[in-house]
Amino acid sequence: MDKKTTIYDIAREAGVSTATVTRVTAGSAKVKPSTRERVQRVIDAHGYVPSAAAHALEGGLSNTIAIVMPLSANPYFTRLFNAVYEEAAANGYYAWLFQIRENSPIPRSLIDEIIRRRIDGVIFAGGIWSEERSGLSDALTRLKHHMPAVTICPPTMHPDCICIHSDLVSCSRLPVRHLHALGHRRIAFIGGSLQLRDSSMRGENFLRELRELGLPDDPAYHVDCGYNAESGEGAVLRMLSGLDRRRWPTAIIAFNDLMALGAIKQLKHMGLHLPQDMAIIGCDNQFFCPYVDPPLTSVDLHPEELASSAVRELLAAKGASYAKFNLMRDATLIVRESCGASLGYRKLG
């Protein structure tokens, strides 16, 4: 690493003033071609690039938005981030990802860091936060004076953020009604922890749907667990082994596709044939769904659209004093074979 060359070095070596160097780098004002060329030569020779820090200090913007998400291997978050990155880029911004440990609160120091760097706005994503324990509320309050914030997670009442979320009602309704229409009567839900906001809301909605259809809302059909494939495996094992075979559900809805993957493995391991012996529906419509055996029916929450809306709203809110509002995106059921629809028969639960 050479010791950093500054605009002064360039100016001196090219025999011009710093102002002229700026004129060349910014490409803006008129500079005599011969001068411009001479300066450019020196710039190239040194590989000189103006410092963003000095520029920002001088009034330039950081052109950066932050996104805060749980550190997770779940591709849902990759999709979310990629879409944020793309939409930001389309608007001339860079997206900076800050990760937090799953199930631990947003560190105060992280928010400080984001403020320190004078970032233009923040997106908080990750449905699994319980608002109270997550520190989200604190974070929004502290951020309030500095930059706009958007959340992509279950609706928040906090006044200092725009809140973009999936339609958690249709997210439960779609698979339940679909299974019901196929003739299923005993439907189970394996979902993340009831302690956490997103999964408990989904769980509640699930139960409401069952009741509306007059189906049994047996607590044994609702298993609390983690969020990955392994959790799905364990959940199915626990649920079925605790139940007399005649009371087994005929269909399972999983909180996400990872869990569905685990559930399928466990069901096959127990000798069941899918979807004949058990229908299953996941959530997130991940890339692997068409490749699961049987191909996995799943609810698509359209994370890419949530993400691009989030970026647009964030940038629109910038500078202006923005009003809090919620924006909801429909869910879509993508029917494949794991729910048995293609069998063309109506199961009688």
At CB < 8 A and 24+ separation, what contacts does 215-221 make? 215/180, 215/185, 215/186, 215/187, 216/185, 216/186, 218/186, 218/247, 220/247, 221/186, 221/187, 221/188, 221/189, 221/249
CB of 188 to a copy of itself, least distance (A): 19
* Contact partner, 2, from a copy of itself, DNA, none, Cβ < 5-8 Å per class: a copy of itself
CA dist 69 and 134 (Å) reads 12
Q: Counting every residue, how long is the chain?
A: 349
Looking at beta carbons only, is 30 or 145 nearer to a copy of itself? 145
Query: Measured from the CB atom, is 16 or 252 closer to DNA?
Result: 16
Using rule CB under 7 A, residue 45 touches DNA: no
* Least spacing, CB of residue 109 vs DNA, in Å: 15
Say which residues have a Cβ less than 8 Å from residue 319's Cβ, sequence separation at least 6.
none
Query: Strands, E, within 169-295: which ranges?
Result: 187-191, 222-224, 251-254, 279-283
91 lies in the site for DNA, by CB under 7 A: no
Read off φ and ψ for residue 217, nearest 5 degrees: -105, 50
**CB nearer to DNA: pick between 5 and 99:** 5
Crossing angle for the helix pair 303-317 and 75-90, nearest 10 degrees? 40
Work out the number of other CB atoms within 10 angstroms of the CB of residue 118. 13
Could you give the string, one character per residue 12-41, with x where binding to DNA holds by CB under 7 A and - elsewhere? ---xxxxxxxxx-xx-xxxxxxxxx-----
Options 57-65, 90-98, 307-315, 339-347: segment touching DNA (CB under 7 A): 57-65
Q: Which of 12, 50, 248, 265 touches DNA by CB under 7 A?
A: 50
Task: Work out what residue 142 binds among DNA, a copy of itself, none; the CB cut-off runs from 5 to 8 Å by kind.
Answer: a copy of itself
Residue 28 or 321 having the CB closest to a copy of itself: 321
CB of 109 to a copy of itself, least distance (A): 11
Q: Which does 323 bind (CB under 5 to 8 A by kind): DNA, a copy of itself, none?
A: none
Provide the edge-to-edge strand list for the sheet that holds 64-70: 94-100, 64-70, 121-125, 149-152, 162-166, 326-329
DSSP string, 172-196: HHHHHHHHHHTT---EEEEES-TTS
Contacted entry of DNA, a copy of itself, none for residue 36, CB cut-off 5 to 8 Å set by kind: DNA
Q: How far apart are CA 305 and CA 83, in angstroms?
A: 8
- Report if residue 6 touches DNA, rule: CB under 7 A: yes
Q: How far is the CB of 264 from a copy of itself (least distance, A)?
A: 7
Q: Which does 32 bind (CB under 5 to 8 A by kind): a copy of itself, DNA, none?
A: DNA
Report what 30 binds from DNA, a copy of itself, none; CB cut-off 5-8 Å by kind.
DNA
* C-beta closer to a copy of itself: residue 241 or 321: 321
Three-class DSSP category at 18: helix
- For residue 115, the minimal CB distance to DNA (Å) is 10
Q: Is 4 in the site for DNA (CB under 7 A)?
A: yes
